[in-house]
A and B are shown apart, each in its own frame.
Chain A
């Protein structure tokens, strides 16, 4: 077990800079989830950690030791790939025991550790099967088993659940989380899935174009996104954004370019600003008697909630309501933002305006 530090790491492929400069720390035993749009360098970072890809600059540390030059086999990190990468010519047991066999561990020890991991993952009956005779979920388990058997310092997961169907994904998500709570092994987990990120992470790192946009606990990112990018990335459906101009009479007033007034409760940080971006999450909008005037476009009841697609001064806005509502397309309604839930951003830099 160890902590891992990424310090000013850069990565270039020839003239293409994939990671301009990246720094953050993964604490011992922590479950860190990396999220970010496709192509932002998540897999590249994971592969650099594993030692499968060279870093172009900066330092990687395990504990206090710089491991830039340490070959993959000595890093003691186990990586689980999206496509599982099981060895097709080996049985499940051989797949799982392969790393130990390479380290010339005694037969009895290998068997014992494979059996133990197989029991944890419910693979006991499948040990003599070949990967081609397994279902997707079973293959995924074997890939995890192969990592667990090694008892590594660090687990690296690259979208391990993305090839599974929705139901299995939920189940495996819970299992991985339970496994982490049991083994307490430092874990870096890459995913595209919002819910995976929110439910599994001790800490989420939001990446974009090879940079860290924000880092923090899931709820920190949800409650106080540092910029428009993070605000739009975390949460589903995404946060609504409306451009607004600030006019100050006795107190500041926000209006969209179409002249719709947007209610704000704590007008700090607006002094001296002419333009802001107003952000509000769909789930923080409620039907009310006052607030933001909107016209209903589409109503989508999903049973547990209702998604309302509306326009505010011609701009599309989504609201998610917990209650069944009786509105129909074309109707004029009022959407009331939940108190203290509006976010204000600087439209030029995208940064959050404190308040």
Chain B
């Protein structure tokens, strides 16, 4: 009896382990393959059958920095992303607080805000392009930042509102009775309590802006193109430069992974809503 239940448990454990291994493989293999591509000669990449043992090279990276000028794209991406994240959080946090704790009709407004999010980017591509042209803002940082901020605010408000709603409303009332202005309630009581959720939200916004492709394509040419656009240039009339593509993909994805890794604690904490109590 005892033995059979123990073997049962062992098999169950084994099956689960197997399952997670398969899942990990499915998720990690394409990424690993992509990274390897960056360290391989183009010829090795397209050879059939695929070669897992090859002579590593930095040719792809060299091409990136010496020919393509990839540093400019990365800097553009960094500037646009950091500005956007700061602005999105700066605007959304007070809004989310107000919608969660002050306004009684926040729900309806929130639906309206979220509808804006559902519209596919391509649908507003032309008007956005025309607006930017008329305002002489084509190919500028601010144009990209503004559109990224606009696109990400609804999501950020929605997510952060759930964190603010976790804070018991009597905390706000106690603070007001203690002499806080609404702004002081926000900065002295609420912000410290939802910090985890705010960091989690900023990770999501960071990833969204960093990966943003469509508006960068529409709004930029030579001055402010971002890193994802650099990839376009590797599809030449002579074929795709796989080594450069792999190298660029590796460099573009690294900050996201590193950032998410650092914020991991807050991500889990934030998303499981356990951040306050």
A72 touches B176 (CB 8 A): yes
B173 touches A79 (CB 8 A): yes
Does more than half of chain B's interface fall in helix, strand or loop, or is it mixed? helix
Closest to B276 in A: A88
Given contacts A81-B170, A88-B193, A88-B276, contact A146 B178 (CB under 8 A): yes
CB contacts (< 8 Å) of B177 on chain A: these are 50-52, 72-73, 77-79
A73 touches B176 (CB 8 A): yes
A81 touches B174 (CB 8 A): yes
A residues 40-60 touching B (CB-CB < 8 Å) = 47, 50-52
Judge whether A334 is part of the interface by a CB distance below 8 angstroms.
no
A73 touches B179 (CB 8 A): yes
CB contacts (< 8 Å) of A167 on chain B: these are none
B residues 145-183 touching A (CB-CB < 8 Å) = 168, 170-171, 173-181
Nearest CB in chain B: distance from A104 CB, A: 10
A residues 95-120 touching B (CB-CB < 8 Å) = 98-99, 102-103
Judge whether A85 is part of the interface by a CB distance below 8 angstroms.
yes
Contact of A102 among B170, B173, B174, B179 (CB under 8 A): B179
Nearest CB in chain B: distance from A101 CB, A: 9
Nearest CB in chain A: distance from B166 CB, A: 11
CB contacts (< 8 Å) of B178 on chain A: these are 73, 98-99, 102, 146, 150
Nearest CB in chain A: distance from B179 CB, A: 4
Nearest CB in chain A: distance from B191 CB, A: 10
A102 to B277, CA, bound (A): 24
Q: How large is the interface on B (under 10, 10 to 19, 20 to 34, 35 or more residues)?
A: 10 to 19
A132 to B274, CA, bound (A): 14
Nearest CB in chain A: distance from B121 CB, A: 39
Nearest CB in chain B: distance from A79 CB, A: 5
Given contacts A83-B168, A83-B170, A102-B184, contact A89 B176 (CB under 8 A): no
Closest to A77 in B: B177
Judge whether A87 is part of the interface by a CB distance below 8 angstroms.
yes
A146 to B177, CA, bound (A): 11
A residues 139-160 touching B (CB-CB < 8 Å) = 146, 150
A103 to B174, CA, bound (A): 15
A47 touches B173 (CB 8 A): yes
Of B178, B180, B181, B184, the most chain A CB neighbours within 10 A belong to: B178
CB contacts (< 8 Å) of B171 on chain A: these are 85, 87
Judge whether B233 is part of the interface by a CB distance below 8 angstroms.
no
A256 to B189, CA, bound (A): 62
CB contacts (< 8 Å) of A98 on chain B: these are 175, 178
Judge whether B192 is part of the interface by a CB distance below 8 angstroms.
yes
A102 to B181, CA, bound (A): 10
A175 to B174, CA, bound (A): 22
A89 touches B174 (CB 8 A): no
B173 touches A85 (CB 8 A): yes
Nearest CB in chain B: distance from A118 CB, A: 17
A47 to B173, CA, bound (A): 9
A83 to B174, CA, bound (A): 11
A51 to B181, CA, bound (A): 13
A156 to B175, CA, bound (A): 15
B175 touches A87 (CB 8 A): yes
A87 touches B189 (CB 8 A): yes
Contact of B170 among A77, A85, A89, A146 (CB under 8 A): A85
A8 to B173, CA, bound (A): 25
Of B170, B171, B192, B277, the most chain A CB neighbours within 10 A belong to: B170
Q: Using an 8 Å CB-CB cutoff, how does the interface string of B210-223 with A read, 1 for contact, 0 for none?
A: 00000000000000
Chain B interfacial positions (CB closer than 8 Å to A): 168, 170-171, 173-181, 184, 189, 192-193, 276-277
Chain A interfacial positions (CB closer than 8 Å to B): 47, 50-52, 72-73, 77-79, 81, 83, 85, 87-89, 98-99, 102-103, 132, 146, 150
Task: Write 9 A-B pairs (CB below 8 A) sorted by A numbering.
Answer: A51-B176, A52-B177, A79-B174, A85-B170, A85-B174, A87-B175, A88-B277, A98-B178, A103-B179
